[in-house]
Amino acid sequence: MQGLMMDFPLTLQHAFNRAIRLYPRKEIVTQTDGEPHRYTYSTWGKRVYQLANALKQAGVQEGDRVATFGWNTYRHFELYYAIPCMGAVLHTLNIRLFSEQLAYIVNEAEDTIIFVDADLVPFLEQLAPQFPTVKLYVIMGEAPYATGALQPSVDYETFIADQPESYDWPTLDENAAAAMCYTSGTTGNPKGVVYSHRSAFLHAMASGLANGPALGEQDVILPIVPMFHANAWGFVHAAALFGSKVVFPGRFMDPMRIGRLMESERVTFAAGVPTIWIGLLNLLSKEHFDFSALRSIVCGGSAVPQALIEGLQQHGITIIQAWGMTETSPLASISQLRSHHLDQSQEEQFRIRARQGTVVPGVEFRVVNIETGQEVPWDDESYGELQVRGPWVARAYYKDSESAAKFADGWLRTGDVAVVDHDGIIQLVDRTKDLVKSGGEWISSVELENLLMGHPKVLEACVIGIPHPKWSERPLACVVPKPEYVDQVTKEDILDYLRPRVAKWWLPDDVVFIDAVPKTSVGKFDKKVLRSQYGMYSLPS
Ligand code: ADP
């Protein structure tokens, strides 16, 4: 017997319609060089319609890929809706990718138009000769600016001017592609993840769950996580769906500007990778901000050090860890205390919050022993590869037949190694490729990094495995001291700090002090770069 409910397609058109009909007076604010740019959902909606009309006039058809190369701004937010709502596919290009990778993905996706922020033109114009499918560049900025070699090109405001302020959205299949994003390609070529309207819709709904990010109309959302990576974690979809005020940082992401923006716009909810919040925490020892409106910060993309969670809490700021991947839209698990944790000590609560948490409703997981393929018990000790499935988890990469094994048996193999406690709360031990393999046992580089970043004189720390004749690999700690402690912290200080906290054989064989941890295009620690710098490092015997 069939259910007798309406077959109502879950599309981003619904989110758009809600924003303009129910919340027309809500503000959208973008940080600029001068005064912030601000307008309402009502104005935004008219411009989204104009943009859709302009795209249609430029020949964009349903299913065509239209790319963006830009910062988090109101124009990017317009593109986030106009492109998918008219049936085309928003392809967000990562502005920090290497040129060869960019050329590869623009060609594989066969992008037809690229929208580019004016200050990023110099970077893109070098690559333009390698983009045969691109017929038009639309430049977003306050003219006059140099369009360089991007031809043909048109100014964004000119492109949408004089277009009608309404558009009859086509009826879309909820499984039609809405957007695509390539993984940052830490190994091999980047891989395209294609999101559907349905997956984006359901994923945005999950942001409203009480035990999830709990977003709602009263929120003022600051997505610092880039709109060019993994849907800005879905928070810009959620903003329109729920009618929340949204604040965009533009290209200004230094801790001082972020702090001032959060204060002046009365931000209630912000999202970004740990690096951003490590910078802000360090600033809080010198500067005062009024964060009284702030409810919580969602942080993920890499492990959130416990010291960061504790440090921000001392300033009254609650940071919530989330875990996910480009392939999971990305929100897959979130770390919230359960009711029975509330009786536990502060220290224990911080420890629980430093785990990656519980899968959100809609996502299922299992942890599988890498050798035997068996699911491991939830004993917080047995580890294996974390695998997930759900309505916003990719089932294949775009045009890729080589990675089928990654999606075998209906599960996504994440490449993350995890343990699970008896409550089903996940803790990531490491990425498979980052575990330090010492004498047949594994050492978690992530756990060492977390401990190191708890040292009062340490700003950031990264641990990599160095080849070792006897043990196969041994850990090397690369440590960035806080600016005020440069040259005032020694290898022995670091090792003395770790000694009571880890098993003896986990102790790094050496400590090197560096100026900064190299970061990937999305702000994560780039171990690849450190490995190439220290690959031949000779450890003290
Ligand atoms: P890429 O794979 O190109 O780095 P993603 O943003 O898709 O880009 O990265 C997903 C990976 O980031 C996860 O597989 C995991 O290793 C890591 N990650 C994300 N969130 C967390 C977290 N909260 N703790 C630890 N690692 C995380």
DSSP string covering 406-456, please?
Answer: GGGGG-EEEEEEEEE-TT--EEEEEETTT-EEETTEEE-HHHHHHHHTTST
Domain extents for the chain?
14-253, 363-431, 436-534
Task: Report how far ligand 1's centroid is from the alpha carbon of 268 (Å).
Answer: 25
Locus of tokens 């290009």: 93
**347-375: burial string, b at 16+ Cβ within 10 Å, e else:** eebeebbbbbbbbbebbebebbeeeeeee
At 222, phi and psi to the nearest 5? -115, 100
Contact indicator for 170, 87 with CB cutoff of 8 Å: yes
Q: Is 244 in the pocket of ligand 1 (CB under 6 A)?
A: no
Do residues 383 and 93 touch, judged by C-beta distance below 8 A?
no
Q: Is the CB of 178 under 6 A from ligand 1?
A: no
Residues paired with 462 in a beta bridge: 478
**Beta bridge partners of residue 386, listed in sequence order:** 367
Instruction: Fold for 436-534, please state it.
Output: GMP Synthetase; Chain A, domain 3 (3.30.300)
Query: Residue 374 has which token pair?
Result: 């068996």
Sheet containing 384-389: which strands, arranged edge to edge? 364-368, 384-389, 412-420, 426-431
Active site residue ranges = 183, 327, 437, 442
191-224 burial, b at 16+ Cβ within 10 Å, e below that, comes to bbbbbbbbbbbbbbbbbbeeebbbbeeebbbbbb
**pLDDT per position in the chain (541 positions), as tens?**
999 999 999 999 999 999 999 999 999 999 999 999 999 999 999 999 999 999 999 999 999 999 999 999 999 999 999 999 999 999 999 998 888 889 999 999 999 999 999 999 999 999 999 999 999 999 999 878 888 889 999 999 999 999 999 999 999 999 999 999 998 765 678 899 999 999 999 999 999 999 999 999 999 999 999 999 999 999 999 999 999 999 999 999 999 999 999 999 999 999 999 999 999 999 999 999 999 999 999 999 999 999 999 999 999 999 999 999 999 999 999 999 999 999 999 999 999 999 999 999 999 999 999 889 999 999 999 999 999 999 999 999 999 988 888 998 999 999 999 999 999 999 999 888 898 988 878 899 999 999 999 999 999 999 999 988 888 899 999 999 999 999 999 999 999 999 999 889 899 999 999 999 998 888 888 888 998 888 777 888 7
Contacts of 356 (CB under 8 A, 6+ apart): 303, 321, 322, 323, 333, 335, 418, 426, 427, 428
How is residue 307 written in tokens? Answer: 């010291």
CATH topology (fold) of 363-431: Luciferase; domain 3 (2.30.38)
Q: Are strands 426-431 and 436-438 parallel, antiparallel or unpaired?
A: unpaired
Give the nearest ligand 1 atom to 414 CA. Answer: 14
- Among 66, 10, 69, 15, which residue's Cα sits nearest to residue 41? 15
Would you say 360 and 212 are in contact if contact means Cβ atoms under 8 Å apart?
yes
Domain 14-253: give its CATH code. Answer: 3.40.50.12780
Per-residue DSSP letters for 173-221?
-TTSEEEEEE---SSSS--EEEEEHHHHHHHHHHTT-TTTT---TT-EE
What's the pLDDT at 187? 61
Would the CB of 303 count as within 6 Å of ligand 1? yes
Tell me, using a 6 A CB cutoff, whether residue 238 lines ligand 1.
Answer: no
- Neighbouring CB atoms inside 10 A of 153's CB total 18
Nearest Cα to Cα of residue 244 among 68, 405, 397, 28: 28
CA–CA dist 113, 299 (Å, integer): 32
DSSP 8-state secondary structure symbol assigned to residue 232: G
The helix/strand/coil state of 77 is: helix
* SS3 at position 250: strand
Q: Residues 28, 77: contact at Cβ < 8 Å?
A: yes
For the entire predicted model, the pTM comes to 0.91
| Probe residue for ligand 1, chosen from 184, 186, 187, 323 as the CB with the greatest number of ligand atoms within 8 Å | 323
